[in-house]
Amino acid sequence: MQLTAEQLNIVNHHQGAAIVYAVAGAGKSTTMAHRVQHLVQHHNIKPPRILVCSFSKATVSDINKKIEQLGVTGASCYTFNALGRKIVQKTVQMGYWSAFNEEHIEHRSSQLAMRALVELGKQLGKNFSQLDVNQEDLQNYISVCKGNLCYADLLAAKLPIHCKQIAQQAEHSNRHYLKAYQLHEQIRQQHNWLTFDDQLLLAWEALERFDEIRAWAKQQFDFLLVDEFQDVNKVQAQIADILTEDHRNYMAIG
């Protein structure tokens, strides 16, 4: 495939940060694949040292397939959630946390939201169906909160002092949503459950709480490429920033 001059500029960029603006259909994944190939073949970067992140498994699979078609195997292609899970699992493996219950993770957020609403109803002397809180809206609210480092109870989280400049206390115009979020977290912690959103939130926490985890994570990759950067939320941006803080070989594409 013949790359355009613009694509070649992206492929040939070596070290340092770069922002790439691209519209849909501009050949982003193809360009990313060629950049990985260029780093491997022209700069002798080992494929596992190149981290490529996107949002969906399908997109990550497509990018990885294109990289392999260019003769490069073993590049570290992850969804953000898979990357977060890798960090959380390493934290458990190194003894900082107990193993989380990841069973039925695809349904865990829905189950937790319902249990939180039932408990809130009990506390208010109502059936949960009578509450002015919608279960789906609650799930979305909690997901957005966690993606933006908004805690149900910031003080109870006992984050390192420097993290309180980044994280914040969640708020809502309807106090029942915040209370339901707090109950959601109490129930989750009692059972040591992990949700999809926690894969990233807890990964960020691990990187901020434990110097050994932070050092390990930063040593894994020499280059980072982030696809669909316009959709990156706060926790994803913070993790990417930590992983590249020693070298800033960080290409944001969106």
The reported pLDDT for the residue numbered 1 is: 74
The reported pLDDT for the residue numbered 37 is: 98
The reported pLDDT for the residue numbered 23 is: 81
The reported pLDDT for the residue numbered 139 is: 98
Q: How far apart are CA 159 and CA 164, in angstroms?
A: 7
pLDDT for 220 beyond 80 = yes
Q: How far apart are CA 78 and CA 84, in angstroms?
A: 9
pLDDT for 135 beyond 80 = yes
Which domains does the chain show, CATH number per domain? 5-91+213-253 (3.40.50.300), 101-193 (no CATH)
Q: Which two tokens stand for residue 204?
A: 């960020």
DSSP string, the chain: -PPPHHHHHHHH--SS-EEE---TTS-HHHHHHHHHHHHHHHH---GGGEEEEESSHHHHHHHHHHHHHTT----EEEEHHHHHHHHHHHHHHTTSSPPPB-TTHHHHHHHHHHHHHHHHHHHHTS-GGGSS--HHHHHHHHHHHHHTTEESSHHHHT--GGGGGT-EE---SSHHHHHHHHHHHHHHHHHTB--HHHHHHHHHHHHHH-HHHHHHHHTS-SEEEESSGGG--HHHHHHHHHHTTTT--EEEE-
The reported pLDDT for the residue numbered 80 is: 98
The owner of tokens 């694949």 is 33
**Structure confidence at residue 24 as a pLDDT band (50, 70, 90):** confident
**Structure confidence at residue 26 as a pLDDT band (50, 70, 90):** confident
Average pLDDT, the chain: 97
- Give the lowest-confidence range in 2-6, 175-179, 242-246: 2-6
Q: How far apart are CA 53 and CA 61, in angstroms?
A: 11
Q: Report pLDDT digits (tens) over 74-101.
A: 999 999 999 999 999 999 999 999 999 9
Length of the chain counted residue by residue = 254
CB 65 within 8 A of CB 241: no
Q: Structure pTM?
A: 0.95
The reported pLDDT for the residue numbered 245 is: 97
